[in-house]
Structure 1
Amino acid sequence: MPSPSSPLDWVVVAPVKRLDRAKTRLSGRPAPERRSLALAFAVDTVRAALACERVRSVVVASDDAEVRSAVSGLGARWVPDIEGAGLNELVEAVAAQLRLEQPDVALAALVADLPALRSDELRRALEAGGEVARGFVADAAGTGTTLLTARPGSDLGPRFGPRSRAAHAASGAVALEPGPAPGLRRDVDTEVDLWDAGRLGLGPATAALVHGD
């Protein structure tokens, strides 16, 4: 197993809801537009993760055929959702399967609504995560979590959901400080979040919808 100071390569798990159930808090927009935005957020997140030099592969867990087609086209692997499973149960199951396939892999769970994510931000966060057994990056609001990491030999132990920052800290995960990483912290649920992501600089898929780029 690598020593704590050794650079690690990571497998990133990115769960994505069915698009017809995603981004309901963008309720001022028609349902087809919300669906398109949710897909664009996921595409930009996965694209940035795949471009990160510390990421070996990205595994997207989704039962949405449009999501699977889009992320497969980017070079990500997809696995099916688990019927009736919550987000944390799904991440746990995918992580367990990956550890069976690659026992020494370092794992990270990344939310898939980070349209302003930059690969370098993720690289620095994963390098910080390599120094601890389990780590997390808090969201821009300071109450949620956008990234959870686990070195080889450690379980992810996901506790995503309301007040997940506190839940992850209480479980023993360490708050990671990768330097300025506004895109990594800026998940998008509301119009204000989307405006803020636009201020940071949207990925190409989201920019094409929002700005017509």
Structure 2
Amino acid sequence: MRDEVDLVVPVKTLDRAKTRLTSATGGDPVSHAALALALAMDTVSAALRTPGVRRVVTITSDPAVAAEMAALGVESIPEPAQPGLNEALVHGARTLRSIRIGALQADLPALRSDELQAALEAANARRAFVPDRQGTGTTLLLAAPGGELDPRFGVGSAGHHRDSGAIALLGPWPSLRCDVDTEEDLRLASMLGLGTHTANALPAWTT
């Protein structure tokens, strides 16, 4: 159906992911990798439950990530030879060849399916994006049906996506806008309600 979207979720190898969150796990590399994986799994799990999302695919070269995603019923596509987040998303979009494609960041551990669904509906078949809570980054980018994704992630991506013609979606979707890069972000996400995987990765977490 033309109103359904396939989402591409990029996930770095766990040894490179979320380096600014090391304080949340006391600097232990095993615990840190588990937390980084948990963030992605909660994000993907919420997306899978969202009406209007037909398919979720991760872009990753980490076998551990691919194995855990397979357990959720999610296919993983290896990262392309050319490095970079935008290159990975373009590669994923071309591989899927979907009528409508979207890019969802993998660090939304409080994501609620109803908020993601509301954003998809608000896009109304337009190329659109959801800025993060600071208003400078991007958590979700949607292509128009049959159109190019044209990702411009990186520093100031919200402005870059706006300048490229994408419509900014600014609804009441705190969980969709709460990406996690720092311990403070994680605390804010916990106030919204962490997903099961992230909550279990932080057994001693208090708010």
Q: TM-score normalised by the shorter chain: which range applies?
A: over 0.9
Report the counterpart of residue 75 of structure 1 in structure 2: 73
Structure 2's unaligned 5+ residue stretches are none
Could you tell me how far 1:176 is from its partner in structure 2? 1.2
Shift of 1:212: 5.9
Deviations 1:47-76 (A, max 9, x none): 000000111110101011111011111111
Give the AA of the match of 1:209: A
Q: Which runs of 5+ in 1 are unaligned?
A: 3-7
With 12-21 and 26-35 compared, the bigger mean Cα shift is at 26-35
> After the TM superposition, which residues 82-161 of structure 1 pair with which residues of structure 2 at under 5 Å, given as runs?
82-99=80-97, 102=98, 105-132=99-126, 134-161=127-154
Shift of 1:153: 2.0
Which residue of structure 2 aligns with residue 206 of structure 1? 198
Q: Is the 8 A contact 1:57 1:77 kept in 2?
A: no
Aligned counterparts of 1:39 and 1:182: Cα–Cα separation in 2? 22
Which runs of structure 2 are paired with 1:37-76 in the superposition (5 Å)? 37-76=35-74
| 1: CA distance, partners of 2:52 / 2:68 | 22
- 1:84 deviation in Å? 3.6
Q: Is the 1:82–1:90 contact (alpha carbons within 8 Å) kept by the matching residues of 2?
A: yes
Deviation at 1:33, TM superposition (A): 1.8
Give the number of equivalent residue pairs.
202
Contact 1:10 1:108 in 2 (8 A): yes
CA distance in 1, matches of 2:69, 2:34: 14
Query: What per-residue deviation string (whole Å, max 9, x for no partner) do you get for residues 162-213 of structure 1?
Result: 0000000000000013x32111111111000000000100000001122469
Whether the 8 Å CA contact 1:129–1:150 is kept in 2: the answer is no
Displacement of 1:156 after TM fit? Answer: 0.6
TM-score, normalised by the number of residues in structure 1? 0.90
**CA displacement at 1:106 relative to structure 2:** 1.2
TM-fit CA distance, 1:129: 2.0
Residue 14 of structure 1: SS of its match in structure 2? strand
Cα distance in structure 2, aligned partners of 1:84 and 1:154: 23
Deviations 1:138-161 (A, max 9, x none): 001111000000122211100001
Instruction: Measure, in 2, the Cα distance between the counterparts of 1:65 and 1:36.
Output: 14
Residues in 2 aligned to 1:193 and 1:10: alpha-carbon distance in whole angstroms: 28
Change (3 A) 1:75 1:212: farther
Q: Is 1:197 aligned to 2:189, yes or no?
A: yes
Aligned to 1:5: none
| Aligned counterparts of 1:130 and 1:154: Cα–Cα separation in 2 | 14
| Cα shift at 1:31 | 1.9
SS in 2 for 1:36: helix
State the one-letter code of the partner of 2:149.
Answer: L
Shift of 1:9: 0.8
